[in-house]
């Protein structure tokens, strides 16, 4: 009888251990993949930057000044559009308009000052990049058109010319959210020389410059 009672006690004590080893099957939760960011959109934005230019002068009245420059902080607006292919290559185009007018004074001889000022500038460029989810590194190339006004403080003559040229550079854009992104960019800009005549002969002005900028863009995504 004691043997039977002991066997029952031993069997009862083993039941919790056996129950713990029984695995209850459960349905695994489906893992929802995070959708990669898509850069296809039309956008607009504002930017701030710095312009560091070296003026190209020839046929100066008297002696050409040494290393004249055109430098300063700039602020502007831009607009553009991008399209992302299935292989993550992104092509796009944009236009940028500086809203800041930069000025410099050329002095070939003492008493002969020629202040110059940019009246308007338009930059149009295409860009080619590779999307890495929220990061978009890219290269760019395009053209620039600038309207420049110069005058002679010696005789008051004012001259205005349109300059053409090219831009090239690279940048990195980062998507902050579905509609917002920040864009850091470097561009090299070369503006052709044009003729100015202030009554003492033809002077040719142009410019080569280095530019850095940081933009905040809003991407329009109707229906998304």
* 71-111 residue pLDDT tens: 999 999 999 999 999 999 999 999 999 999 999 888 777 77
* 135 within 8 A of 174, measured Cβ to Cβ: yes
How many Å apart are CA 38 and CA 41, to the nearest integer? 8
Count of domains for the chain: 1
The first and second tokens of residue 131, run together, are 């999307």
Residue 145 forms part of a structural domain: yes
* 104 within 8 A of 68, measured Cβ to Cβ: yes
Q: What residues of the chain score a pLDDT lower than 50? A: 1-12, 14-15, 17-20, 32, 224
Exposed e or buried b for every residue in 93-110, given b needs 16+ CB within 10 A? ebebebeeebebebebee
Q: Which pLDDT belongs to residue 209?
A: 96
DSSP letter assigned to residue 133:
T
How many Å apart are CA 46 and CA 217, to the nearest integer? 7
Domain with residue 124: its CATH number is 2.40.160.20
Exposed/middle/buried for residue 91 (C-beta within 10 Å: 0-12, 13-18, 19+): middle
Q: Which pLDDT belongs to residue 5?
A: 46
Element (H, E) at 20: helix 2-21
Residue 112 forms part of a structural domain: yes
The first and second tokens of residue 166, run together, are 């090219």
Q: Which pLDDT belongs to residue 21?
A: 52
The first and second tokens of residue 117, run together, are 């000022």
Residue 161 forms part of a structural domain: yes
Residue 199 forms part of a structural domain: yes
Residue 97 forms part of a structural domain: yes
Please give the C-alpha separations between residue 190 and each of 44, 56, 57, 150, 211, in angstroms, as whole numbers. Answer: 25, 10, 13, 19, 11
Residue 154 forms part of a structural domain: yes
Element (H, E) at 58: strand 41-58
Residue 35 forms part of a structural domain: no
* 53 within 8 A of 70, measured Cβ to Cβ: yes
Domain that holds residue 128: 41-220
Please give the C-alpha separations between residue 218 and each of 123, 215, 223, in angstroms, as whole numbers. Answer: 19, 10, 15
DSSP letter assigned to residue 88:
S
How many Å apart are CA 8 and CA 65, to the nearest integer? 111
Residue 13 forms part of a structural domain: no
């Amino acid at each position: 009888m004691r043997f039977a009672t002991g066997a029952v006690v031993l069997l009862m004590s083993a039941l919790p251990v056996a129950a713990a080893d029984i695995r209850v099957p459960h349905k695994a939760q489906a893992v929802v993949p995070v959708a990669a960011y898509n850069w296809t959109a039309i956008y607009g934005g504002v930017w701030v930057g710095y312009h560091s230019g070296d003026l190209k002068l020839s046929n100066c009245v008297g002696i050409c000044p040494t290393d004249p420059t055109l430098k300063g902080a700039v602020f502007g607006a831009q607009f553009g559009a991008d399209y992302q292919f299935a292989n993550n290559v992104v092509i796009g185009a944009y236009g940028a308009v500086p809203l800041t007018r930069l000025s410099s004074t050329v002095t070939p001889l003492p008493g002969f000052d020629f202040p110059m000022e940019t009246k308007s500038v338009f930059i149009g460029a295409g860009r080619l990049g590779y999307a890495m989810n929220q990061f978009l590194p890219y290269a760019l190339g395009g053209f620039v058109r600038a309207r420049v006004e110069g005058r002679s403080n010696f005789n008051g003559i004012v001259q205005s010319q349109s300059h053409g040229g090219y831009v090239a550079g690279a940048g990195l854009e980062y998507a902050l959210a579905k509609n917002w992104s920040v864009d850091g960019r470097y561009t090299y800009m070369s503006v052709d020389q044009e003729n100015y005549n202030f009554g003492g002969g033809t002077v040719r002005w142009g410019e080569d410059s280095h530019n850095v900028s940081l933009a905040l863009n809003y991407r329009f995504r109707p229906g998304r």
